[in-house]
Structure 1
Amino acid sequence: MDAQQLLLNRHSQPRLTEPGPNPDQLQLILQAALRAPDHAMLKPYEFVVAQEEGLNRLGEIFFESAQASGDSGESLARARLLPTRAPMVITVIAKVTEHPKVPPIEQHLTAGCALLQMQQMALALGLGGVWRSGNFARDNVVRDAFGLQQQDEIVGFLYLGTPVKATQPTTAKAITPYWRLL
């Protein structure tokens, strides 16, 4: 897949199965993340990879979060199983550092770009992925489980694996409503 195809056909693959990225693919995925735009080379991110038993540990964190939020029944049981929807989940954390020229928003954007780079590399390798966030990304129980400081943020959870079925990229959109001349 060439770069133009990759960029114009980016899409999410919400239904994933085994196999997930192998060790060599994971290294390429993580290397792609390190190429995200990064003002002052702060590397304002951390990647936490969950696979196999790690998916169950992540599910327990989600379960505890849901329990603390007052969820019950099916909603509570579902929280525990969310990470098992893919063979690998990479939690991307924006690790913000005080810097006179790089405000926190730029550091968050760098972490977000790193996540997108990982998803794009997975697609280029023939894998599928979906970037999820939601309440768990902002929940204090989850934040505490990951040892986050006040200024840190979970940018998202990147679910990776083999697509269950081929997904057709969305059709091209007219760009007219999204840009203008100044």
Structure 2
Amino acid sequence: MPTADPAALAFLQSRRSRPAKTLCPPVPDAEELRPLLTAAARTPDHGKLEPWRFIVIDKAAMARMARLVDARGAALGLPDTDIAKGRSQFDQGHLAVAVIEVQKPSPKIPPLEQTYSAGAVCLALLNAALAAGWGANWLTGWPSHDRGFMEEGLALEPHERIAGIIHIGTETTAPPERPRPDIDRIATWL
């Protein structure tokens, strides 16, 4: 019989992201953030390629990112509403970790599996932050998919892209519950 960890299972069954706009200071400092990054880096990684890395975005960097979203949105000819929505996470953010997918050449590990691993890092970081008592939210949005934003704002190389931006802080309000999937509807037993 396996050894169960009921507390961990209960956490995973009840975990809930916190809306990024409700996250305020205090935020984790470097010493508090390091164990969360360590937990995220324990994600499944076929071939031990480490096809991801982290960029910590502090409050001062958030302001720079918001200005860059304005510039990139204007250069792309986006509507003002799209620009405002794209910059809101940086206007309201206090600390975030950009999880960067780093595609690495491999004869055995296809690029898609590296993408999956980077996505798993995002979820692992989100869950680590929540388990440590912080509020956290995984965001993307059009700036995360814009090469100009990635290259100018985060100095990403052509083989890198943003997998997610995990905002971390102190939650100010209880998150609203939302409907959850019906397991009997989405699970097939063979």
TM-score where L is the length of structure 1: 0.89
* Aligned-residue offset at 1:43: 0.8
Equivalent in the alignment of 1:101: 108
State the one-letter code of the partner of 2:18.
Q
Give 1:13-162 correspondences, 5 Å limit: 13-14=18-19, 15-71=22-78, 76=83, 79-145=86-152, 146-162=154-170
Q: Matched residue pairs, number?
A: 182
State the one-letter code of the partner of 1:159.
H
Equivalent in the alignment of 1:5: 10
Tell me the distance in 2 between the aligned counterparts of 1:52 and 1:143: 18
Equivalent position SS for 1:2: helix
State the one-letter code of the partner of 2:10.
Q
Could you say if the C-alpha distance between residues 75 and 135 of structure 1 is closer, same or farther in structure 2, counting changes exceeding 3 Å? closer
Q: Which deviates the most, 5-14 or 56-65? A: 56-65
* Aligned-residue offset at 1:152: 2.2
Tell me the distance in 2 between the aligned counterparts of 1:6 and 1:84: 30
Equivalent position SS for 1:101: coil
- Percent identity of equivalent pairs: 29
Tell me the distance in 2 between the aligned counterparts of 1:62 and 1:5: 39
* Aligned-residue offset at 1:172: 5.4
* Aligned-residue offset at 1:62: 1.7
Tell me the distance in 2 between the aligned counterparts of 1:7 and 1:120: 8
Task: Spell out, residue by residue over 1:76-103, the C-alpha distance to the aligned partner (whole angstroms, 9 max, x if none).
Answer: 4565453132321111110000101111
Aligned-residue Cα RMSD (Å) equals 2.1
Can you give the 5+ residue segments of structure 2 that lack an aligned partner in the other structure?
Answer: 1-5
State the one-letter code of the partner of 2:45.
D
TM-score where L is the length of structure 2: 0.85
Tell me the distance in 1 between the aligned counterparts of 2:60 and 2:100: 20
Partners of 1:128 and 1:160 within 8 A in 2: yes
